[in-house]
Amino acid sequence: MDVLTFGESMVVFSPNINGPLRHVHSFSKSLGGAESNVATALAKLNHSAGWFSKVSDDEFGRFVISSIKAEGVDTSRVIIDKERPTGLLFKERYQRSNPNVYYYRKNSAASSLSPEDIDEEYIKQAKILHITGITPALSESCRRAVYRAIEIAKENKILVSFDPNIRLKLWTVDEARKILVDIASKADIVMPGLDEAELLLGLTNKDDVADFFLNKEAKIVAVKLGSEGCYIKDKKEGVKVAGYNVSDLIQDTAGAGDGFAAGFLAGYLEKLSLNEIGQYANGVGAMATLVQGDMEGYPYYDQLMEFIGKRQGVER
């Protein structure tokens, strides 16, 4: 398996009209979850990916599993929890802005993940273990599960990839800073946004951010620069890779950062140059913003190649 990841995936309810939720009476149902987003995007790029979590023993839990499995992701280690619910997320939209987000995930099935739920043999099958900063924010047991998974990966020479993915509705900046910097310092691949790096490290220069993690255990760092693209640096060189101009942007960038992570990992696994890895990452991230929903816009490999100019498309 190329990449294994784990964390909470939720059922997302998006309003069919803009305005306060008290005036909204119909919603569209979809799937959301940073880790399953990454796994889904990787599978569509022809890389083997696995995702595990806990979900409830109900139709929402079945929806989560079936949606992720349908995209070609291995879900064989997902645990069914008969006592706790699957997490829910409601979006609230206003004109020309990312939506407000309301979580209903406290005491959810996924928040009860613990070190005992981490399957060592399953992790040992992977080339890369991908972690986000959302999982350790869910509960103390989730935090311990993350550290246990990292420990197993390190013991078995499996690369650890980390996206801070700060969610300040789940914990405070001070809590996040302490844990996320510690986890990032153990990772081989680190993918912070420049704004996240400022919150976590107090650094605003992309080289300084990259060097901070390269001086820990990181082999490569990708600093996300939003619409400007990204800056990728390893022990030998650093390159800035321009972003892609997206004119048909849907006003909901959820899933773009996860798409970036998947594109980056795909390029890294294919042993591409830093510039090409950045093109993959920026391309998948940009394409995620063209379609409503967290994961619906992720491209297949041929679509990505056409988008980033590596292949000519055939319209008719």
- Backbone φ and ψ for 32, nearest 5 degrees, come out as -140, 140
* Catalytic, out of 2, 163, 258, 294: 258
Q: Which two tokens stand for residue 211?
A: 């060097």
Q: Half-sphere exposure of residue 268, counting CA atoms within 13 Å on the CB side?
A: 26
Active-site residue, 294 included: no
Q: Cβ neighbours of residue 126 under 8 Å, at least 6 residues apart?
A: 1, 2, 3, 4, 50, 153, 158
DSSP characters for the chain? --EEEE---EEEEEESS-S-GGG---EEEEEE-HHHHHHHHHHHTT--EEEE-EEESSHHHHHHHHHHHHTT-B-TTPEEESSSPPPEEEEE--TTSPPEEEEE-TT-SGGG--GGG--HHHHTT-SEEEEESSHHHH-HHHHHHHHHHHHHHHHTT-EEEEE----TTTS-HHHHHHHHHHHHTT-SEE--BHHHHHHHH----HHHHHHHHHTTT-SEEEEE-GGGEEEEEESS-EEEEE----SS--S--TTHHHHHHHHHHHHHHTT--HHHHHHHHHHHHHHHTTSSSSSTTPPPHHHHHHHTTSS-----
In angstroms, the CA 119 to CA 117 distance is 6
Residues identified as active-site:
258
